[in-house]
Amino acid sequence: MPRISGVDIPDNKPIRVALRYIYGVGPKIAEDIIKEAGLDGHVRAKTLDEDQLAQIGGIIENSLVIEGALRRQVSQNITRLRDIRSYRGDRHRRGLPVRGQRTQTNARTRKGRKRTVAGKKSVKGMK
């Protein structure tokens, strides 16, 4: 498996797809990296030589925040929102959708599995 910026990427996939396995690199950024390196996006990752891999790694290191640093940055941003007691921070704290989605129905990914709450039991015959 080739390594780019300390991350293993799959060798049997086209390089434009393989780069997306790096956290912080999506389709658009992968295409930009390939264009800047002057490579064909359809070439397989295993066919790249060391110079080409080093060139891609250099482009990523110089222009992007990826992997651990990006995860840390996102975590710090969420922590800051919680600390300043913003609405978004409160939604993060409660585990609810942050960006204004409805929650009466849907939102199961954020809220988790349904938790059935026992209702009042009615007693028959009482008036």
Nearest to 15 by CA among 24, 66, 37, 58: 37
pLDDT in tens, 37-72: 999 999 999 999 999 999 999 999 999 999 999 999
Q: How far is CA 25 from CA 16, 47, 85, 124, 127, in A?
A: 10, 21, 31, 63, 67
* Phi/psi at 85 (5° precision): 60, 40
Domain ranges in the chain are: 3-64, 68-101
Q: How far is CA 17 from CA 27, 63, 70, 89, 126, in A?
A: 8, 19, 20, 34, 68
**Architecture in CATH of 3-64:** Orthogonal Bundle (1.10)
Q: Is residue 124 predicted with pLDDT exceeding 80?
A: no
| Same fold flag, 3-64 and 68-101 | no
Give the Cα separation of 53 and 56 in Å (integer).
5
Give the global pTM.
0.77
CATH 3.30.420.40 fits 68-101, yes or no: no
- Which residues fall within 8 angstroms of residue 27, CB to CB, at 6 or more apart? 16, 20
pLDDT band at 83 (very low <50, low <70, confident <90, very high): very high
